[in-house]
Amino acid sequence: MKLIQNILIYTLSDVVPKSLAFFMVPVLTRHLTVSEYGVFGYLQALITVLTLLFTLGLNGAATRFFFELTEPEQRQKLMGTIFMLMSLNVMAMSITLLSMLFLLPDSLFTNIPLWPFYPFAILSAALFSFLGLPLALAIAEKKAVTFGVLQSTRTMAIFGAIVILVIWGRMGVNGIIYGYLIGALLVGAISLQQILKKAMITFNLSQVKEILSFAIPLLPHAIGGWILLLSDRFFLERLGSLQQLGIYSAACQLGLIMDLLMNSIKNATIPYYYMLLDRVDYVRELLSEILYLVVPAFLIISLIFTLISREVFTVILDQRYSSGQGIYIMIVFMGFFHGLYFCAIPIIMHHKKTKLLAGTTCMTALVNVLLNTLLIPIYQAWGAALATLISYALLFLVTCLLSRKLLLVTWPFARLLCGLTILFSVTLLSRFLTPSIGLTAYLAYKIGLLIVGSSLILVSFFRGRKTLHYTKQLMRDMDDGNVSFN
């Protein structure tokens, strides 16, 4: 099935760049001082935030409005209008930020000098922002390979340029920002080529107001998501210790594989979701049935990741990080709730209620900040993980309740609670035995827990084979364009 194929491709397109970033750590740390590597991390965060400001949520608008139009020419004009809006915003924001930099006193920039870091970071983010539109279009058109190539090109361009300048050019910290700029120039050129191939450059004033009213609330939504994902490191560094921060960062790096997989599933299923919401009359009943397949699938995936926690830490990480296994499990649970959140969010996007989305994410981000300030001083890294888990569970619950007001989809909450109980119980049982009992017995025990846990989850959600058969047939017909939307 094309859906499964696309999920695998999206997963690889996320794994490859993140793997490259992971393997670049020992390379760069050998050629940069600790403070220079700190500049590298700072620039990564700065360019990420600036890119959010430049894109203005227009990528989400491109994916959403794509499915309202059926004619290729209409879609090309839509992409042209969104491209013009993004270009105007990029120019206005760039001029404003660069002007502010030169008006501010140099004394504000003590650790990282003003020139060339901040102006080059602004220019790099401005160029990177254009990549979002081809990525959104690739998702809408179900072109997972194109998405993967573009995503990987960005990472390889950045790290390739930095490696050449830092290692071979021996430019030190300057090689980082020049490498970012060179990578951005390459990515910007590729992005513009892709946009001009797909878009008809125009400026449809009748669409602008609707596009902006949808897109602008996605900016605080994206910033809130950024806070949810990264604020715990900030608080742990100040309220905990560097050792705890190191253990937590390592556990998160491994546990976020679950979140990466959930994100890949989201990218692969978004086109199907919007097609269903736009054109299928019985979508409420259909989505309710599909949840009886999706939720147990997510639970079983989570079960697999939790059962291998000890093996992951033993093989990949040093013994000094072994205390992070429990944190890793909580991050896996966080990824599970994030995956369920992805099931509810398209309904809000479809009804164009992005202000609700922004409010929900910002509220949850505030809760996350409060939990971090309360839990980290007491429980250190465990407190940070618990704050993240609670925040994402709350984000799913609130978003789910809001989406149900827009489209009364029946969520299997009772079965979900039962599945979580099974998942939690099996995870606890997996901690009782260690490889010291013998490798064969230990593997048999783990495999047995996986089989029993998965079977119990499937039984608790089982509603007959009809739902599975019908869903597979519907997605196959949607891929072929043969589905009857009535």
What average pLDDT does the segment 20-24 reach? Answer: 62
- Token pair in block for residue 349: 């996007």
Say how far apart CA 39 and CA 169 lie, in whole Å: 18
Residue 94 or residue 167, greater confidence: 94
User: Considering the domain boundaries, does residue 379 fall inside one?
Assistant: yes
**pLDDT recorded at residue 455:** 95
Q: What is the mean pLDDT of the chain?
A: 81
Question: Residue 166 is encoded by which pair of tokens?
Answer: 């830092």
Mark whether 187 and 246 lie in a shared domain: no
Statement: residue 447 has pLDDT above 70: yes
Higher-confidence residue of 301 and 269: namely 301
Selection from 101-115, 186-200, 226-240 with the highest mean pLDDT = 186-200
Q: Give the max Cα distance, the chain.
A: 71
Q: How many residues does the chain have?
A: 486
- Verify that 108 and 242 share a domain, yes or no: no
136 pLDDT tier (thresholds 50, 70, 90):
confident
Does residue 360 share a domain with residue 259?
yes
pLDDT-derived band at 256 (thresholds 50, 70, 90) equals confident
Q: Is the pLDDT of residue 367 over 80?
A: yes
pLDDT at 68 over 90: no
Same domain membership, residue 342 and residue 310: yes
- Domain for residue 485, yes or no? no
The count of structural domains within the chain is 2
Indicate whether 130 pLDDT > 80: yes
* Inside any domain, residue 486: no
- Angstrom CA distances, 360 to 86, 221, 222, 339, 363, stand at 25, 8, 11, 16, 5
Q: What is the percent of the chain where pLDDT is above 90?
A: 28
Across 14-28, 163-177, 207-221, 322-336, least confident range: 14-28
Phi, psi torsion values for 442, nearest 5 degrees:
-65, -45
Cβ neighbours of 319 (radius 10 Å): 8
CA 7 to chain centre: 14
In a domain, 276, yes or no: yes
What is the pLDDT confidence band of residue 244, given thresholds at 50, 70 and 90?
Answer: confident
CB 404, CB 349: distance < 8 Å: no
The rounded Cα 82 to chain-centroid distance in angstroms is: 22
In sequence order, what E strands does 103-215 have? none
Contacts 24+ apart (CB under 8 A), 171-176: 172/32, 172/36, 173/32, 173/36, 173/39, 173/40, 174/116, 176/32, 176/36, 176/39, 176/40, 176/43
**Residue 485: its pLDDT value, please?**
38
Q: How far is CA 364 from CA 106, 308, 350, 353, 371, in A?
A: 36, 30, 22, 17, 10
Least confident of 15-29, 33-47, 127-141: 15-29
| Residue where one domain finishes, among candidates 150, 184, 215 | 215
* H-run or E-run covering 187: helix 173-198
Same domain, 204 and 252: no
80-122 per-position pLDDT tens digit? 999 999 999 999 999 998 888 877 665 555 566 667 788 898 9
Q: Of 301-310, 351-360, 443-452, where does mean pLDDT reach its minimum? A: 351-360
List pLDDT tens digits, range 407-419. Answer: 778 888 999 999 9
pLDDT digits (tens, 9 = 90+) for 272-301: 777 777 665 566 777 777 788 889 989 999
Q: Are 152 and 279 found together in one domain? A: no
Q: Looking at the predicted structure, is the pLDDT value of residue 34 above 70?
A: no
The structure tokens 């606890």 sit at 428
Specify whether 128 is located in the same domain as 93.
yes
Write 371-378 long-range contacts (CB < 8 A, 24+): 372/231, 372/232, 372/235, 372/236, 372/239, 373/235, 373/239, 376/232, 376/235, 376/236, 376/239, 376/240, 377/239, 377/240
* Residue at 258: amino acid letter: M
If one compares 416 and 12, the residue with the highest pLDDT of the two is 416
Residue 73 and residue 151 in one domain: yes
Q: Both tokens of residue 322?
A: 């072994």
pLDDT classification of 35: cutoffs 50, 70, 90: low
Domain end residue (candidates: 215, 236, 264)? 215
Say which range, 271-275, 402-406, 441-445, 456-460, has the weakest mean pLDDT: 271-275
The closest alpha carbon to 133, from 206, 193, 181, belongs to: 193
Residue 9 lies in a domain: yes
pTM score, whole prediction: 0.74
243: Cα within 13 Å, side-chain hemisphere:
4
As a whole number of angstroms, the distance between CA 95 and CA 89 comes to 10
Give helix 218-239 / helix 354-379 axis angle, nearest 10°.
Answer: 0
Residues 210 and 239 in one domain: no
> What is the Cα–Cα distance from 458 to 8, expressed in whole angstroms?
23
Q: What is the mean pLDDT of residues 353-360?
A: 87
The per-residue DSSP string of 80-126 comes to HHHHHHHHHHHHHHHHHHHHHHHHS-GGG-SSS-STTHHHHHHHHHH
Q: 358 and 296, same structural domain?
A: yes
By the 8 A CB rule, do 93 and 54 touch? yes
| 393: confidence class by pLDDT, cuts 50, 70, 90 | very high
Q: Is the peptide bond before 220 cis (omega within 30 degrees of 0)?
A: no
Contact 114, 106 (CB under 8 A): yes
Q: Is there a domain that residue 44 lies in?
A: yes
Q: What is the pLDDT of residue 148?
A: 79
Predicted local distance difference test score (pLDDT) of residue 257: 76
Tell me which DSSP letter residue 437 carries: G
Q: Count Cα neighbours of 275 within 13 Å in the Cβ-side half-sphere.
A: 20
Q: Which range marks the domain in which residue 271 is found?
A: 218-480
Which of 215, 243, 269 is where one domain is finished? Answer: 215
Q: Do the beta carbons of residue 98 and residue 119 sit within 8 Å? A: yes
DSSP 8-class letter at 351: T
Residues 153 and 12 in one domain: yes
Q: Do both 120 and 72 map to the same domain?
A: yes
pLDDT at residue 484, as a whole number: 45
